[in-house]
Amino acid sequence: MKKDILKDIVKRKRERLAAAMEQLPEEEVKARLKDIPPPLPFRQAIVKPREISLIAEVKKASPSAGVIRERFFPVEIAAAYEQAGAQALSVLTEEDFFYGSPVYLQEIKRSVKIPVLRKDFLLEPYQVYESRMLGADAILLIADLLSKDKLSELYGIASGLGMDCLIESHGEKDLKKAVSLKFPLLGLNNRDLRTLEVDIKTTERLYPLVPKDRNVAVESGIRSRSDVLFLKVLGVSAVLIGSVFMESADIGAKVNEVMGW
């Protein structure tokens, strides 16, 4: 039986969350929000008629690949993405398995003019308020991790703060949950978060289940111009790509190659 890595990630995340809430209580986080500039419109930035947008990801490592980029300078990477024409950024802030940091998001947000998504394992309202405090314009919510009620709760808090949400699914059950709640921006992840296996046919299988009035961003396993073209023809609004760029010595050139810009 394959190990369920998601359980380990969530266990560690809950430990870190408890420590964070003790160090900086939720009321203090909320109080700090008044000093944060309003969020940029993430969904609006990545949804363009007859075009496919890029959400470029800043990440040092992953549980499946280990360290992807040894010389990891988040602000420089974000600047290269912005200069290359990315419509938005995704920043990994999970510390233990992806070697991310909330600090990376803060630093990047101060240095770019495009919307920034916080990509992490968000489980409780505290993390939504924290995301806004860090400067996130949008957050990722993983349907597999959250009940319908919890998804609705976290989405409602984010919306109240002016943030967009990318609701991620990697299976039919998760997607049906997200669709039933009428979320406008859905993420289809070709990676099974429990086994970490990638199947690029996941999107092909799930996309027909998405109502026409929703927008879709596809994650994981996208490595070439032909992958992007296939998804564009399918009708996908955006691709979220990280690893293939993080592996490249020249990020800007790799973005142009994969996106065809």
Q: Is 183 helix (H, G, I), strand (E, B) or coil?
A: coil
Give residue 193's pLDDT. Answer: 83
Contact status, residue 218 vs residue 231, Cβ threshold 8 Å = yes
CA gap 84, 102 in Å, rounded: 24
Task: Locate 133 and state its tokens.
Answer: 């405090």
Domains, the chain, in order of start with CATH, read 5-259 (3.20.20.70)
Those residues whose C-beta lies under 8 Å from the C-beta of residue 23, and which sit 6 or more positions away, are none
DSSP 37: P
Could you tell me the mean pLDDT of each successive run of 10 residues in the chain, 261 residues long?
80 98 98 96 96 98 93 97 98 97 98 98 98 98 97 98 97 96 97 89 96 97 97 97 97 98 91
CA gap 53, 138 in Å, rounded: 16
Those residues whose C-beta lies under 8 Å from the C-beta of residue 192, and which sit 6 or more positions away, are 170, 171, 198, 199
Give residue 4's pLDDT. Answer: 85
Torsion sign (Cα): 146, 119, 69, 85:
positive
Which amino acid belongs to residue 159? S
Give residue 1's pLDDT. Answer: 36
Which residues are catalytically annotated? 57, 59, 119, 168, 189, 219-220
Residue 99: left if φ>0, alpha if ψ -120 to 50, beta else—which one?
left
Those residues whose C-beta lies under 8 Å from the C-beta of residue 40, and which sit 6 or more positions away, are 114, 115, 116, 137
DSSP 157: H
Which helix (H) or strand (E) segment holds residue 205: the answer is helix 201-206
